[in-house]
Structure 1
Amino acid sequence: MATQADYYEVLGAARGSSDAELKKAYRKKAMQYHPDRNPGDETAEQKFKEINEAYDVLKDPQKRAAYDQYGHAAFEGGMGGGGGAGFGGFGAGAGGLGDIFDQMFGDMMGGRRSGGGRRTGADIQVEVELTLTEAYSGVQKSIDVQTRVSCESCHGSGSADTSGSQTCATCHGAGKVRAQQGFFLVERPCPTCHGSGRTVRNPCKTCHGSGTEAKTKTLQVDIPAGVEDGTRIRMSGQGEAGGEGVPPGDLYIHVSVASHQIFQREGANVYCRVPLRMTQAALGTEIEVPVIDGTRSRVRIPAGTQTGETFRLRGKGFSVLRSTARGDMYIQVSVETPQHLSKRQKELLEEFEQEAGEDHAKASPENSGFFAKVRDFFDGR
């Protein structure tokens, strides 16, 4: 233990790191050196064990405090054999450190356990970007997934011949080993069988006994109509293969919906900003607007329409997932002030201004009302 590397250096974390920072550093290192990602690499396997040992100590506030004060000497006192009896209820299946490790680490790296305690292959997460119109109508997407599949050479058995597998001699089939560290009994996945409880007598040369090999798999994914940005879709059994007798993990598809140049979405409703010429808003008009489903709709704009007024088209929005309901489409009006006027246009506007005369308050009530309040403000001072 005297020559053992500093636990913080092993994780690549600073001594003052928070619990969240330690966990993040641990996950990054564990993913880098996990045996499933480095098959046959003994150096990576040893590094992986060191990472687990370091995190087992530093994630526990009491053990971390002892380590910060005394270093590795805080845990000297003999190392128990794998599978020996311990104290404090930390035995296999006792709901102790091993179970906590399974819940946190298994979900990240593979070897995940289902609700009934059954081991499965690793889950995979991919992101799919959709256009807004694809999210509206639903679409089938073809995605390429980097994964691990059942080894073709050994058909997933991990064995080069018919000798098959045998009970792991290190953990005696438990898939876990326990080690005494000072006053603590720490439980970890077995370094020999990586938690499976069995080892292959004559490992397959292609997969090195894991029963799986890396491969790019193409899948067809049905994205339902009305899906929202950030939605996660689960495809059961489409994750990484887990080897002989171990069911595959799941594939999780994270949906990202790109912005649109015309439409904006809020829940099931769609918004479209439509600029109107000043004359259209003043005199009233009828306009044709696009609808998210690819059709067009006509909207009547009454005379005197102001910027910010909204017109609703019922049932022209998105469908609501797992429901027959539909959202609406809202046309938001913006009255545009004319620019780059010709001489004649300026003359006409000046005539309009003069013609309004005393009727300004009637033609522009909001404008007149505001400046009336301004006069009252200054008069009051």
Structure 2
Amino acid sequence: MQQQLRNYYEILGLSRDASGEEIKKTFRRLARQYHPDVNPGDKIAEEKFKDINEAYDILSDENKRADYDKLLFGKPKRRFERPRVGFNRNSNGSSSNSRQAFETWKIRDFSPGTTKTAKVVSPPLRRDVEARLTLPLEKAYRGGRERIRLEDGRSLEVDMPPGMMNGQKIRLKGQGINGGDLYLKITVARHPFFEIQGSDIYCQIPVTPSEAIVGGAVEVPTIDGLVKMIVPKGVRAGQRLRLANKGYPNGQGSRGDQLVEIQIVIPPEPSEQELELYKQLRQVEKFNPRRNSIA
């Protein structure tokens, strides 16, 4: 069965001549729109999210995109060579080699002076195939049953193991062509908040100026849910705090850590009471961050 090539430009709503920056901006916009966290329980949005990530994985890589464009926009497709069937001797004793998958030769009937023609059919070729599957980070972490759609039109349900990594391959025995195997190559979709760094998970957390100065407990999202983290007194912008064993599974029975980078954020519209308190603080504070830069 001939597989129909998916048009990744149509999936992202882009033209063939879209620049790398246009592809990146469009992907980010669509990923936020269709992310499972934004559309809980919406299967259509979930499928759209997978398609968007699959398209971005190809179009964001110059080499992959060049190969894909050749296939999509007119590169002659490589012809499938049928397996050759050869015979050392034919019925009259001379040597011959077949150059086709289907060969005919003469065989003698029991009746004198008669011959019959028989067709030799080569058995279908067993072939392994590879398919891509894009998963949200949470699904790759937890695993579970996932329905996949293949380009040849088949739909399969697969029990995905927990802790899948980007680039990992899963073998589905007998699901390839003519009894071959199907290899699913896993792509873990980019997450709007978390970033996987090896077996560690990195994120940024904003805190107010008062939280940074006084310290205290703040809520931090993790891949397992919200946890409380103690912000030390006098924490600096850009400082990284560590949540032990809250990272990604490393495949050896343990987990990495979650690295939380502090961002100090000024309130955009402080109330009158807050402004008054900041004014009072301004009158009594002795810290001058520009002291060393003044000549």
* Equivalent position of 1:106 in the other structure: none
* Equivalent position of 1:34 in the other structure: 80
CA distance in 2, matches of 1:82, 1:232: 44
Q: Is the 8 A contact 1:137 1:293 kept in 2?
A: no
The match for 1:143 among 136, 141, 148 is 148
* Equivalent position of 2:164 in the other structure: 227
Structure 2: runs of 5+ lacking an equivalent? 1-65, 83-94, 99-121
The match for 2:253 among 324, 336, 340 is 324
CA distance in 2, matches of 1:340, 1:25: 53
Matched, 1:255 2:186: yes
Give the superposition deviation at 1:132: 0.7
* Equivalent position of 1:133 in the other structure: 138
CA distance in 1, matches of 2:77, 2:232: 65
**Counterpart AA for 2:168:** T
CA distance in 2, matches of 1:232, 1:316: 25
CA distance in 2, matches of 1:140, 1:30: 35
Give the total of aligned pairs: 192
CA distance in 1, matches of 2:261, 2:183: 37
Matched, 1:301 2:238: no
* Equivalent position of 1:289 in the other structure: 220
TM-superposition CA deviations, 1:100-151 (whole Å, max 9, x none): xxxxxxxxxxx9xxxxxx994233222212111111112222223355xxxx
* Equivalent position of 1:360 in the other structure: 287
Q: Is the 8 A contact 1:136 1:293 kept in 2?
A: no
SS in 2 for 1:280: helix
CA distance in 1, matches of 2:275, 2:154: 67
TM-superposition CA deviations, 1:66-114 (whole Å, max 9, x none): xxxxxxxxxxxxxxx9749xxxxxxxxxxxxxxxxxxxxxxxxxx9xxx
Give the superposition deviation at 1:286: 0.8
SS in 1 for 2:76: helix
**Counterpart AA for 1:299:** M
* Equivalent position of 2:112 in the other structure: none
SS in 2 for 1:136: helix
TM-superposition CA deviations, 1:183-236 (whole Å, max 9, x none): xxxxxxxxxxxxxxxxxxxxxxxxxxxxxxxxx443332322221222222323
The percentage of aligned residue pairs carrying the same residue is: 28
Matched, 1:311 2:238: no
Structure 1 residues 82 and 355, CA, compared in 2 at 3 Å: closer, same or farther?
A: farther
**Counterpart AA for 1:130:** L
SS in 2 for 1:330: strand
CA distance in 1, matches of 2:287, 2:217: 26
Give the superposition deviation at 1:326: 1.1
SS in 2 for 1:261: coil
Give the superposition deviation at 1:28: 5.2
SS in 1 for 2:150: strand
TM-superposition CA deviations, 1:318-371 (whole Å, max 9, x none): 1122x1121111222111112223444333323222212xx325xxxxx24xx4
CA distance in 2, matches of 1:269, 1:230: 17
When Rg is computed on C-alpha atoms for both structures, the one with the higher figure is: 1
**Counterpart AA for 2:208:** R
SS in 1 for 2:248: coil
TM-superposition CA deviations, 1:13-65 (whole Å, max 9, x none): xxxxxxxx99x97995344x4377xxxxxxxxxxxxxxxxxxxxxxxxxxxxx
SS in 2 for 1:350: helix
Structure 1 residues 124 and 341, CA, compared in 2 at 3 Å: closer, same or farther?
A: same
Structure 1 residues 304 and 25, CA, compared in 2 at 3 Å: closer, same or farther?
A: closer
* Equivalent position of 1:340 in the other structure: 269
**Counterpart AA for 2:219:** E
4+ long deviations beyond 6 Å: 24-27
Once superposed, what is the RMSD of the aligned Cα atoms?
3.4
The match for 1:123 among 122, 125, 128 is 128
Structure 1: runs of 5+ lacking an equivalent? 1-20, 37-80, 85-110, 112-117, 148-215, 242-247, 362-366, 377-381
CA distance in 2, matches of 1:339, 1:300: 24
Structure 1 residues 217 and 342, CA, compared in 2 at 3 Å: closer, same or farther?
A: closer
CA distance in 1, matches of 2:227, 2:202: 14
Length-normalised TM-score, structure 2: 0.56
Q: Is the 8 A contact 1:270 1:317 kept in 2?
A: yes
Length-normalised TM-score, structure 1: 0.44
Q: Which has the higher helix share?
A: 1
Q: How does 1:1-381 map to 2 (within 5 A)?
A: 29-31=76-78, 33-34=79-80, 83=97, 120-147=125-152, 216-241=153-178, 248-294=179-225, 296-321=226-251, 323-356=252-285, 359-361=286-288, 367-368=289-290, 371-372=291-292, 374-375=293-294
SS in 2 for 1:29: coil
Structure 1 residues 119 and 266, CA, compared in 2 at 3 Å: closer, same or farther?
A: farther
